[in-house]
Structure 1
Amino acid sequence: MSDAARPPSLPSARAPRPASAVSHGVGLAGLAGSLAWIAFAYRHHLDGPYAALTHLVAVAVPMILWSLLVDRVHHNASTGIDWANPRPARETLDISLTKLAGLWATFAGIALIYFTFRFYWVGTFAFAMWCFAWLAPVLFLGSIPYMLWIDRRLVQPRDGCWMLGAWLTGQKGIEAEPIHAHLRAWAVKTFFLAFMLGVVPGGFRAFIDGDLSVVLHDPVALAHWLITLMFLIDVAFATVGYMLTMRPLDAHIRSANPYAAAWMAALICYPPTILMTNGGPLDYRPGTAEWSDWFAGHPVVLAAIGAVLVALTAIYAWSTVAFGLRFSNLTHRGILTHGPYAVSRHPAYLSKNLFWWIATIPVLSTGSWVDAARSTILLGAVSGVYYWRARTEEWHLSADPAYRDYSAWMKRHGLVPRFLAWAAGRT
């Protein structure tokens, strides 16, 4: 067998994988809390919005405790906090007041966006707006003691928030780029948190309302129910990640992606700017049918395909769980190298796209061969968008030497990159 034809070998023990910024334990702690609450809610049929919000607490609290008590992330140098030498309050008071001006101006801008655009008051977004209306006074008042406390301990308290406040109050020493970085980070939270929080109740209710007497006797129903569970966990971890971007947890945003191409690729995958929705330019569903329709009457095939789809969704959810407190799109919050990220640089995108191709089978059509060709091309375009997202994320993260080390290791030892290289005939 020639070298080019050899399958990829196992990673060499002489090349250890770069360390991950997040431990296995924090995600597992959150997963344990998630499953415990889901089991309790299912047993007592708690399927309302308050039960769904409690699920977020059940995910967040174990991860916070693990991070602080076990991983002791608050002592990481990457937090930018010096706990041993807090400055006197009088020395940082002016800094804190300036930062509060910048933060409150940011809050005001976000409120204006939510107030102006009507789509935030209909559908799933309406629940998020209800939550934000209750949270707004808490965030406003809580920001005062938090800012006064944290600025005494920050090594560099004059960050982008301070720069924005200083610009608004006519102070000197202003730099534009920290302000832009601050606004990009909050733009990520503004766009994605409203969507994530909005879909929390629906996914929770869909799983809790599942009837075991039905799903255990129908492979298709069982697959859909388990897939709902995977997405329920994924959304909970993602929502918590967007909410807890805090330095004491070392979960703050180091940087938001500065490339317009990255923002474009990400925003067209989520409401309200999504292009893949029903009737959208990249809607590949017309003329197609679900996997359960194509193989109806073949229970073994249905069970096998259902198991594959559940496994792919589990990988997708695992990719989010692996972030612990740090998940969010378009940001750098520490480099992950463990779990599914030891196999692929983009396990979530890979598993999601494989799921769509297997679940839809676009080459089969309920109409003509033209419909099949159109659906196949459009789903290929959707996968191309996710490849685009992956590449623009790599542009951003490659500014960090830790990611460059991880990427180099993955090329040599990662199972998916090595398999793809072998399949393409590259040694």
Structure 2
Amino acid sequence: MSERQQAPATRPVSDVSAGVGLSGLFGLFLWIAICRNWATIADLFAFPGPRAPMSGAYAALLTLAFTSLPMIAWSVLVDKVHRRASTGIDWTRPRRLADTVDVSITKLAGLWATWAIIGFFYCIARWYWRDGYLFAMEVIGVAAVPLFVLSVPYVLWLDRLLVNPRDGAWHFGAMLIGREPYDPAEVKRHLLAWAVKGFFCAFMISILPGGFRAIVELDFASIPADPVQLSWRLIDLLFLIDVQIGTVGYLMTLKPFDAQIRSANPYLAGWVAALMCYPPFILMGEGGPLSYHEHSADWGIWLQGHTALLWVWGAMLVFLTAIYAWATVAFGLRFSNLTYRGVLTNGPYRFTRHPAYLSKNLFWWLSTLPFFATTGALTDVVRNTTIMALVSAVYFWRAKTEEKHLLGEDPKYRAYHAWMSENALITRSFNRLGRKLRERGQAHQVQPAE
């Protein structure tokens, strides 16, 4: 499918309203306030237990409930997403259970086999049994049995309402049982979608406790009137927002909320570009080939002694992190890497198609300042600057592979892509710059002799 099409007169309406993410923020901040003030609350209601802030790993996990429930309520009660045709659900004509039970049994076979494959992968992959992943494995292990049990009534209920209950899970189950014909393309789509969920859910759960503990235990009075320390604490809060909302997105892939994974990125390049940014495959980590921290220092070191500049620089970093968090919040229940779950056109996505990638990379450039090296050696300056440029190139590659996926999936995204190219402030500016550079390059090409 060609990426080029006539730009629509107006920006397409987003599949996710701003209210979804904002309601999630309300629930998140409410729970943080409760946890920070738990000693006072426990005294007030004479609750048993210690009188201290609730900053443990399971308090961080419970945040997901306080964040997701308001988003679900807004999605269903205000946006009424469950009534959309894109859910694949017809609420007006439920079938008899007897008419769909065979389909459901086949689907459950496919679903349970998928979970067993993911569990086996968790068992054999060593990185899941050290550091923060130990908490993720504990959580997933505890949740496994309830999920298996609850999947039975959920699938039996949902299949009575689905227009086409023979989805990817059914096709995978049919392949395993061998009694009915199945579509290999549907099996592939199903397995890719669950590969995304299995990989990223464990990662997101593993990083929940650290950021949550830092914010709940933070003593605001102890923060000096220091632009560096104040900026980093605000950045910590914004990253907490990103992680909490993002984790909800990975967990809430449910059709009644119109948040299902409609397809995972089918291109190998997309997977390679994404996975090299996450453990255990991360290339940007300490000692990795794209580590940009060798012989470098943070912005607070390079700019120390220039108080006014520190305040301005810190404000820029907080602003960029806020854009990054906003890009996640705007997804509501649908945040996820490597997937198509509807088209998002509001929030920061009004200005650029990839606000998270753009803000994240600008943050790294401004916070690290790779143009300076602690050794003072020109070779280190050149090396760090080049590696930082390569990191940005990886995210540019990720953006292009994601666009290729979405352009092939939804005419609404193609309309959004075209509208952004002509109207969005940042995207339009980059496109015009690219056209000018190409035109200049063509003008300087040597013409062949006649």
TM over 0.5: yes
Give the drift of 1:116.
0.9
Matched, 1:117 2:111: no
Deviations 1:346-405 (A, max 9, x none): 000000000000000101111111001000010100000000000000000001111110
Q: Distance in 1 between matches of 2:293 and 2:11?
A: 40
Deviations 1:91-146 (A, max 9, x none): 10100000000001001101100011121010111111010011001110000000
Aligned-residue Cα RMSD (Å) equals 1.3
Q: In the alignment, what sits opposite 1:306?
A: 314
Give the drift of 1:425.
6.7
Matched, 1:176 2:184: yes
| Structure 2, unpaired ranges of 5+ | 1-7, 39-52, 440-450
Q: Distance in 2 between matches of 1:299 and 1:345?
A: 35
Q: In the alignment, what sits opposite 1:7?
A: none
Q: In the alignment, what sits opposite 1:413?
A: 423
Q: 1:135 aligns with which of 128, 131, 143?
A: 143
Q: In the alignment, what sits opposite 2:205?
A: 197
Q: In the alignment, what sits opposite 2:43?
A: none
Matched, 1:380 2:389: yes
> Which 10-residue stretch deviates more, 230-239 or 33-42?
33-42
Q: Percent same amino acid among aligned pairs?
A: 54
Matched, 1:97 2:105: yes
Q: In the alignment, what sits opposite 1:336?
A: 344
Matched, 1:24 2:18: yes
Matched ranges for 1:67-82 at <5 A? 67-82=75-90
Matched ranges for 1:202-351 at <5 A? 202-351=210-359
What letter matches 2:420 in structure 1?
M
Q: In the alignment, what sits opposite 1:10?
A: none
What letter matches 2:19 in structure 1?
G
Q: Distance in 2 between matches of 1:423 and 1:406?
A: 20
Give the drift of 1:297.
2.0
Q: Distance in 1 between matches of 2:271 and 2:434?
A: 30
Q: Distance in 1 between matches of 2:180 and 2:14?
A: 39
What letter matches 1:175 in structure 2?
D
Give the drift of 1:313.
0.4
What letter matches 2:220 in structure 1?
L
Deviations 1:9-66 (A, max 9, x none): xxxxx93211101011111111111122222323332211122112111110000011
Q: Give the TM-score taking structure 2 as reference length.
A: 0.90
Q: Distance in 1 between matches of 2:32 and 2:149?
A: 32
Q: 2:70 aligns with which of 62, 81, 100?
A: 62
Deviations 1:144-202 (A, max 9, x none): 00010000110011111111111111122211000000000000011111111100000
Give the drift of 1:284.
1.0
Q: Distance in 2 between matches of 1:148 and 1:244?
A: 19
Q: In the alignment, what sits opposite 2:400?
A: 391
Give the drift of 1:422.
4.5
Q: In the alignment, what sits opposite 1:42?
A: 36
| Structure 1, unpaired ranges of 5+ | 1-13
Q: Distance in 2 between matches of 1:56 and 1:257?
A: 26
Q: In the alignment, what sits opposite 1:3?
A: none
What letter matches 1:406 in structure 2?
Y
Give the drift of 1:216.
4.5
Q: 1:158 aligns with which of 154, 166, 169?
A: 166
Equivalent pairs, count: 414
Give the drift of 1:298.
1.9
Give the secondary-structure state (helix, strand or coil) at the position aligned to 2:260.
Answer: coil
Q: Distance in 2 between matches of 1:275 and 1:407?
A: 30
What letter matches 1:274 in structure 2?
I
Give the drift of 1:423.
4.4
Q: Give the TM-score taking structure 1 as reference length.
A: 0.95
Give the drift of 1:424.
4.9
Q: In the alignment, what sits opposite 1:52?
A: 60
What letter matches 1:388 in structure 2?
W
Query: Does the CA-based 8 Å contact 1:265-1:388 persist in structure 2?
Result: yes
